[in-house]
Amino acid sequence: MGPPLQLFSGEFLECAVVFLSLALVAAFVGARSVAGISMEIARVLVARFLVLATVSTVL
């Protein structure tokens, strides 16, 4: 029997970390709109990661 199937590779979490870093830098520089948008994207990506991780664990 081969290795278990993996439904996702975790790229959502990697992208979320990148957007979180971008948001922190933008907030430090003072670009509040860029920071807000980046935080929203990071939040959505983390939520997708959590849903896919749960589905992958159950299956």
Model-level pTM? 0.73
Distance in angstroms (rounded) separating the CA atoms of residues 40 and 6: 27
Sort 31 into a burial class: Cβ within 10 Å, 0-12 / 13-18 / 19+.
middle
Digit-coded pLDDT (tens) for 1-37: 445 555 556 677 788 888 889 898 999 999 889 999 9
Give me Rg for the CA atoms of the chain. 15
